[in-house]
Amino acid sequence: MNSGVKASTPTPARTDVRDRTARGDLIIGAVGAILVCLGSFGVGDPPRNTTTLADLGLSWITYGHGKNLFGIFFWLGVFSMVFAWVRLGRRIARGATDSPSVRTLQRWLLVWAAPLLVAVPVYSRDVYAYLAQGAVFGAGFNPYADGPAHHPGPLVDSMATVWATTTAPYGPFTMGLLRVVTEVTGDHVVAGILAVRLVLVPGLFLSLWAIPRLARHFGASPQAGLWLALFNPMVLIHLVAGPHVELLMAGVLTTGVVLVVTGRHVAGTAVLALAVSIKITAGIAVPFVLWIWLSHIRSRRPVTARDVIGVFAAIVGISVAVFGLWTLLVGLGFGWLTGLGWADVIINWFTIPTFVAHVVTLLAAPFVALNLQPVLEITRAIGSVVLAVTLVALWWRHRRDERDAVAGMAWAMLAVLLLEPSTLPWYYTWALAIAVAFTLPPWARATVVGVSTFMLIVFQPDDAIVFYKPVELTLAFLLAGLAAWSLLRPDPLRLGRFGRWAWGSERTETPDQPADGEDEVRKPEPAPGG
């Protein structure tokens, strides 16, 4: 594909100055990651019924003044990461000569991620559920039919009790991976956490490889793509320190998309099918491969009905073969379908159906007492129908060419986030991993900053939630709005010279030298679907 991007090679001196100037922001973020790691030992989600901290004489950090102190470390770390992320985003967005190169960003992303690999799990106890599901599988049960409670022990003790009797919603590749992990680590919870992170972290390396290539292919800034999807503190903390299986799925997903748009259709479809076998959500991208593949044929000659049938059959055949292979190897069949329904247990107002249910019960309160649950059943049923129609409409609407098809993927992922029964912060990586292909308008980037900051506050590191507490919720909205506004406007609090420095508003580039990338000059591109 000829994206019309003019390539240029930066001089070594220019690259060195650019990287050196931006290093302060990257160091602040790295220090923030270290503080998040340190603070997690006091306010995170440690294993239950273990005496490790007590044996080390450190139990004091989990209560009283010790917990307060480590809470300060944690939130100071979160602030530092968001602060550095916003400043970095301002540099990249304005095309400054001091914007770091892609290679520099890739190295520093690993520096930011490294402390989080050894942090106590934060914001969720899902990692314990992963281990418990792998253990129940290794004990001879079927995790698609039997909950972790069938194999009691330290792993089940540490997971969220609401999931102890539920079945696994993950694909066969994930379940096979988790079984291997628990067969190696047994009931050793800490070793299991570290092992899960090690088997998921290849997804981070795949993302570091794929995101710049996907952005370049469509004429977008690779630095902006890395900033949007990986340096995002919400993504990095949740996926690495969480950890969550989306870390692996997102890397495999973006790799598959890159292979498809660069003409390696068979390999790309196989990789996307592997992503589906990790988590079924990746399957949203597969139908759009049809339009990408046909657009590549159309660039050489007219497309015939035989081409459409052949490409459709190839996509279906490859996907079924790859997914079927993992299903046969793991030997659990298609029982994971039953586990998808357990998402209904999660209730938060971050999706439209759940938000509407809350509004309906609130407005009806002066007249009639409505229980939220039956209202939820109605709004979620309507949302599911609207979602199904929306996905089909998006697939058909975005069939013009490969760019249009990838935009359709991003919109489809966003539609799922908005219309499914429930959404959690790490789910947003589904859409962000594809959105890196486009140069988003300033308001869209600011929205990502605001939503990401909000999600880091309303979800607490110990798995608590505050989005039904008015004071904390108001504070979260104010801080998220400040973070979003600071991306768009220099010194939003009007703090003078310090404020201009803090928000990275001092321009260092000259008007006739708008450095913005490692090896290219960007042309403005429309947002997805534009």
Per-residue pLDDT at 96 = 63
Q: Across residues 351-360, what is the average pLDDT? A: 90
Per-residue pLDDT at 340 = 62
* Structure confidence by residue, pLDDT tens digits, 499-519: 666 655 554 443 333 333 333
Distance, CA of 101 to CA of 23 (rounded, Å): 11
The single-letter DSSP state of residue 465 is B
Distance, CA of 288 to CA of 311 (rounded, Å): 12
- Biggest CA–CA distance in the chain, Å, is 73
For residues 388 and 15, which has the higher predicted lDDT (pLDDT)? Answer: 388
Q: Does the bond joining 121 to the residue before it have cis omega, within 30 degrees of 0? A: no
Mean pLDDT across the chain, nearest whole number?
86
* Structure confidence by residue, pLDDT tens digits, 150-201: 888 888 888 888 888 888 888 899 999 999 999 999 989 999 999 999 999 9
Per-residue pLDDT at 282 = 92
Per-residue pLDDT at 524 = 43
The whole model's pTM is what?
0.86
Contacting residues for 230 by C-beta, under 8 A, at least 6 apart: 109, 204, 207, 208, 211, 236
Task: Please state, in angstroms and as integers, the Cα–Cα distance from residue 164 to each residue in 125, 175, 192, 308, 409, following that order.
Answer: 12, 16, 18, 46, 34
Strands (E) in 220-294, as ranges, are none
For residues 202 and 336, which has the higher predicted lDDT (pLDDT)? Answer: 202
Per-residue pLDDT at 61 = 78
- Residue 487 CA to chain centroid, in angstroms? 20
Per-residue pLDDT at 480 = 94
Closest CA to 314 of 299, 301, 296, 332: 296
Per-residue pLDDT at 521 = 37
Check: CB of residue 146 under 8 Å from CB of residue 168. no
Contacting residues for 457 by C-beta, under 8 A, at least 6 apart: 466, 472, 475, 476, 479, 480
Q: Which two tokens stand for residue 24?
A: 């302060």
Residue 477, strand partner residues: none
Lowest mean pLDDT among 300-314, 411-425, 510-524: 510-524
Q: Please say if the pLDDT value at position 42 is more than 50.
A: yes
